[in-house]
Amino acid sequence: MIAAVPLLLLAAAKPVDKPRLSFVKDIVPIFTKSGCANSNCHGSIRGQNGFKLSLFGYEPELDYEAIVKAQDGRRINRADPAQSLILQKPTFSIPHGGGERFKIGSLEYNAILDWLRDGATYDSAGSPRLQTLRVTPEETILTGIGARRQLAVSGTYTDGSTEDLTRKVQYTANDESVVEVSPNGEIRTRRAGETAIMVRTLGKAVAARIAVVENPPMKNYPEAARNNFVDELVYSKLRRLNIVPSPLSSDEEFLRRVYLDTVGVLPTLEETRQFLDSADPRKRSQLIDRLLERPEYAELWATRFSDLFRVGLLDQGRKGGRLIYNWIRKSIAEDKPYNQFSTELMTASGNLFFNPTANFYYVTEFSEPENLATNISQVFLGVRLECARCHNHPWEKWTQDDFWGFAAFFGRMGIKDTYQNDESQVLLKAKGEVLHPKTKKPVAPKYLDGPGETEGLDEDIREKLAAWITSPNNPRFARAIMNRVVKHYLGRGLVEPVDDFRVTNPPSNEALLDALAQDFVRNGYSLRHSIRLILNSRVYQATSEPNETNRSDPINYSRYYVKRLMAEQLIDAISQVTGLPEKYRGYLPGTRAMSIPQGAPSYFLSTFGRMKAREVICERENQPDMAQAMHLISGETLHKKTTAKGGLLDQWLADAAISDEEIVRRLFVAALTRSPDAREMALALEPIRAKGERRQAFEDVLWAIFNSKEFLYNH
C-alpha cells in the first residue's frame, strides 16, 4: 500500500507558472536603468556601433525592432537564449565598449533571459503604457553627513493600475558632491547643500529635491523682519535649513545697489547726501517708488529685453533694432501689461521700419518655423525645446512630435528681404506647412502639453497661440518672466539656467516662484508691481556680507548675491564718476550706453559682455575674463577717462576751496556711495602729497577705485 502524501507537500512540489514578462513594462526599463539607453550611449541620435535604442525607452516599439529584428535578429539567440548578444555584451561576457552593465544571475539578467525563453514577444495591442511616474518623498531634508534615505517610485498605467518601480528606474544626482544615490534609489548624504535626484524610465522623468543640513534645527533661531510674502517664503525655508539670513544692508550699501539694479546708474553726490541725511523710516520704499518712475528704469529693461529678443542684431543695419528698442522702452515706461506686450510681439508682422515689433521675428534666423518654435518657447515659457528637434528630449518629457507640433504654428511665416531699402517685411504667406522630419508628412499645430489646433480660413493662428501662452491658466508664462526678474534683482534665478524649466531641474523655492507668478497675474501682469514687491523685501535689502551659516549657500537668498556690473552699467558709471561722457557714433554727446540699442559698435561694451551680432544665447555670460582684466589695467578706455581734461576732477582741482581730503571723499562717494575710512584716506593722500604732479596722483587714486571689486560689482 502506497503511503499517502500530504496535500501541502503536493502543492509545494507543483510548479508555479511565472507571469509572462512584458517587454514594455519589464524589459525596456532595464536598458534605461543600466545606462544603455542614455544620450551618451545607445540612446544617442545615431546609437553606438549600429545599435540604437530610443532615449530612455520612450519608444519601446522601436527598441523591440532594434533588439529582435534589426540586422537579421543577430542580437538574440532563440535556440540558446543565454548566448544572445543582448545578454553577453552588458554582462561583459564578450568585449563591450560600455563595460559591464549588470551581472550574470542578477535580476536584470534573469528578466531578459526569461523573456527570451518565453519567445521574445512584444506586448499585445492595447496593453497598458506608463502614464505617470511618482517619486516619494518629492522633497526632503536630511540631517547629518552620511545619513541615508530610500526613495520609492511608483508608476500609474493607462489602464489605471499602479506598480512599484523602485528597482526598475534610473537614478541620477544633479550634484553628486551633495548626495550619492545607489542604482536602487538609496540616498547617502555627502555634504551640506541641495540637489535633485532625477528618476527616469520609459520616457518619463520626475525629480526628488534633497536638502542636506549638518546639524539638527537650532533652538534659538533668530527671527528677521518680514516685509512681504517674499520674505515669508524665503525665511521659512532658511529656518528649515538652519541658515540664518544676513543682517539688513547699510544705507550706503542699499543706495548703490538699488540705483544700479533699478536705473542702471550710480546716485549722484547730491542724491547720496539727501538719502543718507534723511531720518524718514520710509525713505527706502519712497526711493524705490521714485526710481521706478525714472526713464532710466525703462532703458535698463529695454536693454534686458533686447538681450532676450536679440534686438538690433540685424545684418542690414541698426535702424530696425533702434525702432524695436524704442518700442520696448516705451512699453516698459507705461507699464504695458506683460501679456499684452508679449502678444504684440508674437503676432507681429509687416514692414520692419513702420512696425517695430516685426523685428522680433526678423532676427530669428529668417523665421524658419523650427527656429521660431525654439525661440518663443525659450523666451516666453522658459522651455528649451531645441533638444526635441531631432529626438525626444533627454531630460524632459518633450518628444519630437511635441517640437514639430509647436513649430507648425509658424508654418506660414516668411520674410521679404530687400536689403537695399526700407521695404523688408515679416509676412504671413497664403499657404505654409511644416513637415515632420521622420514621417515627411505635414504636422498639425499642437500646444505643449495640450490639444491640437486648427487654422481657419484667413486666420492668423499665431493669435490663438499667443492667447494660449499668455493665458492665466498657463503657469509657465508668468513663472518664466518672474524667474528672469528674480535673477536680475536677487542675482540668481529660482530656476537656473533661467530658461531651462523642466521637471528634472526644479526651482530652489517652488512656493516662492508660484506665489510670485500668481501675484503677477492678479496684478494685471504689471512688471513694475512685481519689481517693487521684490525691491521692498528684506531679502533684497539684506547685506551681501555672509555669516557662518550662509557662507556656502548659493541658492536660497540668505544674503544679497554680488554680481558683476553689466557692460552698460560699467561704462556709464565710469563716465559719471569722471564727468566725461562716452561718445558713440551716430548718437548725441552724453548719450548713455544703456540707452543705445545693441547695434551700436563699441569695443568696450562687447569686451564686457554685451551681446554680439547673431548670438543665439538669450542671457549674457557675466564672468570676468583675461580680456576684461587687461582692459581695466591698461586699456585705452579707462586710460582716457582718468587722464582726459575737462572732467569733474579738473573742476575740483581748480577750486582752491576744495581740499585734497574732500576730493578723495568725493571720488569714493561718487564711485562707491560711501566715504573712505581712515586707512583708505591715508593711503590715498600719501602719494598725492608726495608726488610733484598732483593731478597724476589723483588719477592713480581714480584708477585704483575703478579696478577695485567694490566698484566692479554690485553688492
- Residue-level pLDDT at 9: 40
Tell me if 302 sits within 8 A of 333, measured CB to CB: no
All three cell numbers of 114: 526569461
Closest to 260 measured CA to CA, from 317, 300, 316, 208:
300
Using DSSP's 3-state secondary structure scheme, residue 210 falls into strand
* Confidence check: pLDDT of 421 > 60: no
What's the rounded mean pLDDT across residues 128-139? 94
3-state secondary structure of 173: strand
Residue 646 DSSP symbol: S
217-231, 349-363, 458-472, 653-667, range with the lowest pLDDT: 349-363
DSSP code per residue over 352-368: TTTSGGGHHHHTTGGG-
pLDDT digits (tens, 9 = 90+) for 529-585: 999 999 999 999 999 999 999 999 999 999 999 999 999 999 999 999 999 999 888
Average pLDDT over residues 26-50: 87
Phi, psi of 28 (to 5 degrees): -55, -45
**Contact at 8 Å (CB) between 580 and 649?**
no
With residue 269 as reference, give the H or E element that holds it.
Answer: helix 269-277
* CA–CA separation, 232 and 192 (whole Å): 23
Residues 287-300: tens digit of each pLDDT: 999 999 999 999 99
| The predicted structure's pLDDT at residue 455 | 86
C-alpha cell at 320: 530696425
pLDDT tens track for 261-282? 999 999 999 999 999 999 999 9
Cell numbers 497664403 label which residue? 430
pLDDT at residue 314 in the model: 45
How far is residue 136's CA from residue 273's CA, in Å, rounded to a whole number? 56
| Res 310 pLDDT > 80 | no
Number of H helices, E strands in the chain: 30, 15
The 3-class secondary structure across 64-124, one letter per residue, is: HHHHHHHHHHCCCCCCCHHHCHHHHCCCCCCCCCCCCCCCCCCHHHHHHHHHHHCCCCCCC
Q: Is the pLDDT of residue 8 over 70?
A: no
Exposure string for 232-270, b = 16+ CB within 10 A, e = fewer: bbbbebbbebbbbbbeebebbbbbbbbbbbbbbbbbeee
628 pLDDT above the threshold of 50: yes
**For residue 137, cis peptide bond before it (omega within 30 degrees of 0):** yes
Q: Which amino acid, one-letter code, is at 256? A: R
Strand partners, 188: 148, 180
CA-nearest of 595, 543, 545 to 571 is 595
Pairing assessment for the beta strands 152-157 and 130-136 based on DSSP bridges: antiparallel
Q: Quote the CA–CA distance of 244 and 233 in Å, as a whole number.
A: 14
Residue 10 confidence (pLDDT) above 50 = no
Question: Grid cell 554680488 — which residue?
Answer: 562
Please report the pLDDT score of residue 534 as a whole number: 98
Residue count (the chain): 715
Residue 458 reports pLDDT greater than 70: yes
Element (H, E) at 674: none
Q: Which three cell numbers, joined as nine digits, stand for 26? A: 519589464
- Cα 336 to the chain's mean position, in Å? 25
Nearest-angstrom CA–CA distance, 146 and 399: 38
Query: For residue 394, what is the enclosing H or E element?
Result: none
Closest to 256 measured CA to CA, from 615, 658, 663, 573: 573
C-alpha dihedral sign at 33, 37, 42, 44: negative
Fill in the DSSP letter of residue 214.
Answer: S
DSSP-derived pairing of the beta strands 162-164 and 152-157: antiparallel
Residues linked to residue 181 through DSSP beta bridges, in sequence order: 187
Q: Are 234 and 557 within 8 A, CB to CB?
A: yes
For 504-556, what is the HEC assignment?
Answer: CECCCCHHHHHHHHHHHHHCCCCHHHHHHHHHHCHHHHECCCCCCCCCCCCCC
pLDDT digits (tens, 9 = 90+) for 637-684: 889 999 999 999 999 999 999 999 999 999 999 999 999 999 999 999
Q: What is the pLDDT of residue 464?
A: 96
Question: In this structure, is the dihedral angle defined by the CA atoms of residues 10, 13, 17 and 18, taken in order, positive or negative?
Answer: positive
CB 265 within 8 A of CB 572: yes
CB-CB contact of 519 with 533 (8 Å): yes
Cα first-last separation, the chain: 98
What's the pLDDT at 203?
82
Residues contacting residue 17 through CB under 8 Å, at least 6 positions apart: none
When pLDDT is averaged across residues 317-322 and rounded to a whole number, the result is: 66
What pLDDT was estimated at residue 256?
98
Q: Which of 63-77, 412-426, 697-711 has the lowest mean pLDDT?
A: 412-426
Q: What is the CA radius of gyration of the chain?
A: 31
60 Cβ neighbours under 8 A, 6+ residues apart:
23, 24, 28, 54, 202
User: Do β-strands 179-181 and 152-157 pair in parallel, antiparallel, or remain unpaired?
Assistant: unpaired
pLDDT score for 56 = 81
Look at residue 395 and give its three-state secondary structure: coil
Instruction: Please answer whether residues 402 and 384 qualify as being in contact, where contact means their C-beta atoms are separated by less than 8 angstroms.
Output: no
pLDDT in tens, 673-703: 999 999 999 999 998 888 678 899 999 999 9
List b or e across 10-21, with b for residues whose CB sees 16 or more CB atoms inside 10 angstroms.
Answer: eeeeeeeeeeeb
The cell numbers describing 622, all together, are: 557675466
List domains and CATH numbers for the chain.
23-117 (no CATH), 130-213 (2.60.40.1080), 337-469 (no CATH), 567-714 (no CATH)
Between the alpha carbon of residue 571 and those of residues 232, 311, 555, 591, the distances in Å are 37, 20, 29, 11
Q: Which of 193, 189, 195 is nearest to 149 (CA)?
A: 189
Cell numbers representing residue 420 in the block: 537695399
